[in-house]
Amino acid sequence: MTISIELIKELRQKTGSGVLACREVLKECGGDLEQAAILLRERGMAAVAKRVDRETHNGVLDLYNHGEGRVGVMVEVNCETDFVARTEVFRNLAHDIALQIAANSPRWIQAVDVPEAVIEEERQKARRWAQEDGKPENVIDRIVDGRLKKFLDDNCLLRQTYIRDDKQTIEELLNETIVSTGENISIRRFERWTVGEELE
């Protein structure tokens, strides 16, 4: 089967994968674009899993200010080599993450970073809310779980919906970049400031 250049281009734009990988997967899937994208993602996740333990000591600090200097963000994004740290793909990722932090004010990078005391407090709040709202006892646990999931989705950077693509989370964006660069990438730390905010 002959695969058109237009189809390869479309798959590349959709997945960020290389030309050869796109051509091979399209051949395997008989030219089915959606199936090829799914297959590339699955293979990409396997590649991410292989890289997750590699150390990341290179990278960049991205500084971003928004609203005529009323909001400022600094984020450190790390990768394995200086070569990847200098690429446009990697620098764009770091900048997009800084934009995400400015726009959505996450408090933590991932759910495991959230202190257990904060999780317990959110559970208790959700339970009180459900009881005060007169919810039946047999659904309260599901309501608590749902509200806790929403709290983590809103406050953990990797779980947030990407501001440039509402069909993707920041974790998925990070994983796509890991696949396209061939290196492990991690978000090490970030700070977000707003003019006039209270200092802790």
- CA-CA distance, 122 to 87, in Å (whole number)? 41
Domain co-membership, 31 together with 125: no
pLDDT value for 30? 86
Spatial CA neighbour of 115 closest among 170, 162, 156, 159:
156
- CA-CA distance, 109 to 106, in Å (whole number)? 7
Q: Strand, coil or helix: what is 142? A: helix
Q: Per the domain annotation, does 34 fall within a domain?
A: yes
pLDDT per residue as tens digits for the range 97-128: 999 999 999 999 999 999 999 999 999 999 99
**Across all residues in the chain, what is the average pLDDT?**
87
Q: Per the domain annotation, does 27 fall within a domain?
A: yes
pLDDT value for 188? 94
pTM of the model: 0.73
Q: Is the confidence at residue 59, as pLDDT, over 80? A: yes
pLDDT value for 134? 83
Q: Per the domain annotation, does 81 fall within a domain?
A: yes
Domain co-membership, 40 together with 122: no
Q: Is the confidence at residue 50, as pLDDT, over 60? A: no
Q: Which residues are CB-neighbours of 155 under 8 A, at least 6 positions away?
A: 106, 107, 108, 114
Q: Per the domain annotation, does 74 fall within a domain?
A: yes
Structural domain of residue 30, as residue ranges?
5-51
- What does the block give as tokens for 123? 């559970």
Q: Is the confidence at residue 145, as pLDDT, over 90? A: yes
Specify the CATH number for the domain of residue 161.
Answer: 3.30.479.20
Expressed in angstroms, the distance from the first to the final Cα of the chain is: 63
- CA-CA distance, 43 to 49, in Å (whole number)? 10
Q: Strand, coil or helix: what is 61? A: strand
Percent of the chain beyond pLDDT 70? 90
Domain co-membership, 126 together with 162: no
Q: Per the domain annotation, does 174 fall within a domain?
A: yes
Chain centroid, CA 124 distance in Å: 28
- Total structural domains within the chain: 3
